[in-house]
Amino acid sequence: QSSILGSWNLIKFHVAPALRGCTVTQKATLYIRPAKENISPVDIFVGMVMFSLTILGPSGWILAHMKDYKQKQ
């Protein structure tokens, strides 16, 4: 049974990538050092408010005007 597993590993790790062709591997860029500039709590608050408005604003508008959309049809 170990020869079956060995041949399976051979196919999985060596033969299969060769049959798939060229693959691009992506590497994440990670920075270990601390940020160059400190972000103040006000900047964080403003960023979170703007992000929330960007995501929730359009859906809130649609939900607030649902009756208008239903009357047009």
Report residue 26 as tokens: 């992506």
Q: How far apart are CA 3 and CA 11, in angstroms?
A: 12
pTM for this one? Answer: 0.45
pLDDT (tens, 9 = 90+) of the chain, 73 residues, equals: 556 667 777 777 766 666 666 666 777 777 778 878 888 999 999 999 999 999 999 999 999 999 887 886 5
Q: How far apart are CA 2 and CA 9, in angstroms?
A: 10
Task: Select from 8, 41, 45, 6 the least CA-distant residue to 53.
Answer: 45
